[in-house]
Every structure is written in C-alpha cells, then in structure tokens.
Amino acid sequence: MRFDVVTIFPEFFDTLDISLLGRARRGGTVSWTIHDLRDHTHDRHRTVDDTPYGGGAGMVMRPEPWGEALDGILDGADDPLVIFPSPAGEVFSQAMARELSAESHLVFGCGRYEGIDQRVFDHTAARARTRLVSIGDYVLNGGEVAVVAMLEAIIRLVPGVVGNPESLVEESHEAGLLEYPSYTKPKEWRGLSVPDVLLSGNHGAIADWRHAASEERTRRVRPDLLPPS
Ligand code: ADE
C-alpha cells in the first residue's frame, strides 16, 4: 500500500517512522513519500498563499503549487484516492479507516491557513476519486495532525502490520461498542484488586463479563453508539 502526502511541514511526518508504522515501512508492507509543497513554488520567497478574493481574514493557499505537486503524484497513477483533511469534510471513523486500508494508493493534501483555493479540489475531483475528511468537530491549524492520526488508524489495519490480528477485533469501535477495561499483574495494587471473574479461568464467564462491561461503558460514555431501543 502506498501513501503520498503533500504539506508545507514535512517534519510533522517524521514521527511515522517510530514503532509499528516504521516497522511496516521497513518491512515493505507500506511505503510513503512526503512532498514539500514549497518545492513546487517558483519565486524567491517560496510563496504558497495569498489574500482571499472577496476580502476577509486570513490567507488562502494558491492553486499553482498544488497543481504542480499533484500532477507529479497523480499523472500515471493507478486509481489513487485523494483525501483533503478539512473540518468541513465527512467525519473519519473506524469504519472509514477499514475501508481506506483496502485501497492501494492514498494521497493526502494538507491545507493550512484559511484553506486551499477551491479550484484545487474541483480540478482534482475531475481526475481522481477525491474526499474531504474531518477527524472531528474542532478546528486544527492545518491538516498535518489529522493526516498523522488517519495514517496511524489506517496502516495498523493493513494485513501483516499488527502482529496478532486478534488484537484488532475486540478493540473499541470494531463491534460498535467501546472496549472493556483491561487488567494485568499484580492482582492487588494500591488497595485495588482485579475483578475475580478474570482470575476464574472460566472463559464463558469472562466473555460475558467483558461484554457487559463494554455495554455499560458505552451506555455511560457514548450512548449515541448504541442502537435505538
Ligand atoms: N484541518 C483543520 N481542522 C481539521 C479537522 N478537524 N479535521 C481534519 N482536518 C482539519
């Protein structure tokens, strides 16, 4: 699986080389290239933004560097999916991460300032599948942190990246419920003990307890995830 990211802050993506994702890249399961948008400017100041037509606060990213950067990635590419992180996009979820983990080539375009000139989206959508995606209802300074979060959620679902695929099955959001609480050694810690059922060796009882704990937690913290009763 291949990823391309266009950004004016390539350093944001240095962290991807740490831990699991770095191991997946070194093992050849996934590959990514980070492109500096400013390499596609042709003025002394490497300008990527300008004032908005129609007035208003903030700056808008000019279309020309974007056009050149995306040409270099999309020309000749085999059915890529282009994602622009944006608070105005559809909301990212575990279901979307799973869907995207089945793609072969994802391209992320990170906007900054007040956004990217609309013609970049329109031109891109005319030549490739294009989606605007938000990681939640809050505003970041740019798309970089959103893309790091999405990449981590997507790459860990690529077959072969997480050593034990069973660990992906029971986690939060996979079954429509939040994950149950986990415990490890010691049995007693600062006066707090591990629930007896987890020490019982009774696998049926343990599964029932975990399911009930998941439901209770979901009802308390995220009732919106439960089907209407
Ligand atoms: N850029 C700024 N805020 C964002 C958000 N919430 N999700 C994705 N991209 C963003």
CATH number at residue 89: 3.40.1280.10
Q: Determine the pLDDT at residue 96.
A: 98
From 119, 147, 165, give the residue that closes a domain: 165
Please report the sign of the dihedral spanned by the C-alpha atoms of residue 159, residue 162, residue 167, residue 171. negative
Query: How much distance in Å is there from the Cα of 105 to the middle of ligand 1?
Result: 21
CA 175 to CA 211: how far, in whole Å? 10
ipTM: 0.98
Query: How much distance in Å is there from the Cα of 90 to the middle of ligand 1?
Result: 11
**Local confidence pLDDT in tens for the 229 residues of the chain:** 999 999 999 999 999 999 889 999 999 999 999 999 999 999 999 999 999 999 999 999 999 999 999 999 999 999 999 999 999 999 999 999 999 999 999 999 999 878 999 999 999 999 999 999 999 999 999 999 999 999 999 999 999 898 787 878 778 787 889 999 999 999 999 999 999 999 999 999 999 999 999 999 999 999 999 998 7
Query: How much distance in Å is there from the Cα of 146 to the middle of ligand 1?
Result: 6
Q: Determine the pLDDT at residue 114.
A: 83
Q: Determine the pLDDT at residue 52.
A: 97
Contact 137, 112 (CB under 8 A): no
Ligand 1 atom with the smallest distance to the CA of 111 is: 1
Do 78 and 180 reside in the same domain of the chain?
no
Contact 110, 142 (CB under 8 A): yes
Q: Which amino acid is located at 81 in the chain? A: L
Do 73 and 108 reside in the same domain of the chain?
yes
> Which residues' Cβ are closer than 6 Å to ligand 1?
85-87, 134-136, 138-140, 142-143, 146
Q: Determine the pLDDT at residue 206.
A: 98
Do 123 and 15 reside in the same domain of the chain?
yes
Query: How many domains, in total, are found in the chain?
Result: 2
Predicted TM-score (pTM) of the model is: 0.94
Q: Give the residue, by CA position, lying nearest to ligand 1 atom 4.
A: 87
Do 80 and 40 reside in the same domain of the chain?
yes
Ligand 1 atom with the smallest distance to the CA of 133 is: 8
Q: Determine the pLDDT at residue 174.
A: 76
CATH number at residue 195: 1.10.1270.20
Q: Determine the pLDDT at residue 173.
A: 82
Look up the domain containing 64 and give its range.
2-165
A 10 A CB-CB count for 44 gives 6
Q: Determine the pLDDT at residue 169.
A: 77
Do 196 and 159 reside in the same domain of the chain?
no
Query: How much distance in Å is there from the Cα of 141 to the middle of ligand 1?
Result: 8
11-17 CB contacts, 8 Å cutoff, 24+ apart: 12/144, 12/145, 12/148, 13/144, 13/147, 13/148, 15/148, 16/148, 16/151, 16/152
| Rounded alpha-carbon distances, angstroms, from residue 182 to 49, 71, 102, 196, 200 | 48, 48, 30, 13, 15
116 marked as binding residue:
no
Ligand 1 atom with the smallest distance to the CA of 139 is: 3
Do 138 and 192 reside in the same domain of the chain?
no
Bridge-based pairing of strands 49-50 and 81-91 is: unpaired
Do 99 and 159 reside in the same domain of the chain?
yes
Do 142 and 29 reside in the same domain of the chain?
yes
The residues facing 105 across adjacent strands are: 2
The residues facing 7 across adjacent strands are: 36
Each residue of 150-185: pLDDT tens digit? Answer: 999 999 999 989 878 787 877 878 788 999 999 999
Q: Give the residue, by CA position, lying nearest to ligand 1 atom 2.
A: 140
Do 160 and 175 reside in the same domain of the chain?
no
197 marked as binding residue:
no
